[in-house]
Amino acid sequence: MRGQMIGIARAFVMSAGLLALAGTAAEAAQLVPHRAVYELTGKSAGGFGRSGSLRGILTYELMEDCDGWSVNQKAGLDVSAAEGDGHRFEWSQATWEAKDGTSYRYFIKDSQNGSTGTQRRGELVYPHPGEAGTLTTELPQRGEAEIPPALLPIQHTLELIDRASAGEAIFIAQVFDATVDEKPIDLSASFGPSLTQPDTQAKEFAPLKNVPSRHIDFAFYVQNLPDGTPDFEQSIELFDNGVVTRVSFEFGGLPVLGTLRRLEMLEPQSCE
């Protein structure tokens, strides 16, 4: 089920294209270090509210240092069926991404009802922009693999903002973040119109005042299904400073809505 959460980590996140594009995007878009807390609830439109309950909390933290970006996220989700059976799902992800796109380190783990599930730990190194890199993994097993050029999560977020601001309607790219698989995946993003006035919920947060935002629909292609349909989809409301206020996705076939409840700006780490 962790695969259903890939988008949250990044536009929170987000991912892909040619590494050579990253420098242009970084100059155009400026992300703000921040800590955000999201309430996760079941969407009544899917009918789940009549047969059970789903509630949870996700925390997301984006920090900047001289050479890169650190992302820490942790979530817990309680799912209960109408019969009373309940399950607790938890997952966490800690990553560091070099601003020049040469390195990406990650540690990802999940659990169900207290039992540890999948754990992934590794580092991807791109010696030269636009060329294949080497992925060295420690978990779930030690090994090395060649990875073709792909955007890293924060690079993708910068590209999303830059391309949407330029008036593009669709951005298709390849992405590596190790959330779903230890190889790049194809990711299609469709942009809604830019909104200069935030919605009612966003007006509660001063850092979002007068910051443009837009709705983005994602389609994730992992297995390249014969009929061309995506493996899963997701929608977010992304502001031009990198803050996400809403996210909509499916978790194990259940529709989920994530709503921003707390937002704190963080100071960049000292470069000294």
pLDDT tens for each residue of 95-143: 999 999 999 999 999 998 888 888 999 999 999 878 999 999 999 999 9
Judged against a pLDDT cut of 70, whether residue 48 lies above it is answered with no
Cα-Cα end-to-end distance for the chain: 41
Pairing of strands 115-125, 133-139: antiparallel
Say if residues 29 and 158 touch (Cβ distance below 8 Å). yes
Judged against a pLDDT cut of 90, whether residue 19 lies above it is answered with no
* Six-digit token string for 202: 């966003």
Say if residues 21 and 272 touch (Cβ distance below 8 Å). no
Which of the 8 DSSP states describes residue 10?
Answer: B
What stretch of H or E contains 78?
strand 68-81
pLDDT (0 to 100) of residue 222? 84
Which of the 8 DSSP states describes residue 29?
Answer: -
The reported pTM is 0.83
Average pLDDT over residues 192-211: 76
Q: What is the DSSP string of 188-256?
A: EEEE---BSS--TTGGG-GGGTT--EEEEEEEEESS--TT---SEEEEEEEETTS-EEEEEEEETTEEE
Q: What amino acid occupies position 148?
A: P
SS3 assignment, position 157: helix
d(CA 219, CA 156): 14
How confident is residue 250, by pLDDT bands cut at 50, 70 and 90? confident
Q: What amino acid occupies position 102?
A: T
The distance of Cα 170 from the centroid of its chain, to the nearest Å, equals: 18
Q: Give the Cα-Cα-Cα angle 163, 165, 167 (nearest 5 degrees).
A: 75
d(CA 211, CA 195): 9
pLDDT (0 to 100) of residue 218? 95
Could you give the percent of the chain with pLDDT greater than 70? 82
Domain ranges in the chain are 2-265
Question: What's the helix, strand, coil split of the chain in %, to 5?
Answer: 15, 50, 35
How confident is residue 10, by pLDDT bands cut at 50, 70 and 90? very low
SS3 assignment, position 20: helix
